[in-house]
Amino acid sequence: MGNRLMLHVRLSFMFTIIYMILNENVSLLTAGLGVASAVSAIFLTNKILEIDYVEIFHLNLWIVLAYFWIIIRDTYLVGFNVIIRTLKGDIRPNFINYRSDLKDELMTVLLANAITMPPGAITVDRVGNNMTILTVGFDRDEFRKATNEKVEGLLRRFDIDE
């Protein structure tokens, strides 16, 4: 029982970090809401859907922390790039069809979210590992280099369906 409780606590902690990342806010209120959301999501999933979250959710703390760091870093780096492009008048919308090498659904969703977080790119559609991304001023090669090479490389290490 104690080991199972620790797995639930660890999962709740990781969900809280993900909640804070997606809200782009590190505060006591956001952390509290993250804990409440995490515990509620795990409880409701286990009871209503009769799925044991601890057994099917395969993220670990290191991937969550590395993901958090990459998202924060890229938000600023890509953000400054978009500011420079805006000042130069080099803002043109561009749709990119992108196919990820990731096979696991969770990892693909995390990649799509990582693409959307920094300014200048939005994942507008995702079917499996195929994504349609709207960028502002980036062509396919610039986009790949600027936003997702490091994130996809990180997620590939945890892609359990490979």
pLDDT at 117: 78
Q: Which residue matches tokens 């515990």?
A: 39
Q: What pTM was computed for the model? A: 0.64
Buried b (16+ CB within 10 A) or exposed e, 105-139: ebbbebbbbbbbbbbbbebeebeebebebbbbbbe
On the CB side of 140, how many CA atoms lie within 13 Å of its CA? 8
What residue segments make up the domains of the chain, in order of their start?
1-57, 69-162
**In this predicted structure, what is the pLDDT of residue 162?**
45
Q: How many residues does the chain have?
A: 162
Query: In the chain, which residues have pLDDT < 70?
Result: 1, 53-60, 145-149, 158-162
Residue 50, token pair as written in the block: 């009769």
The per-residue DSSP string of 74-103 comes to HHHHHHHHHHHHHHHT---EEEEEEE-S--
pLDDT of residue 44: 85
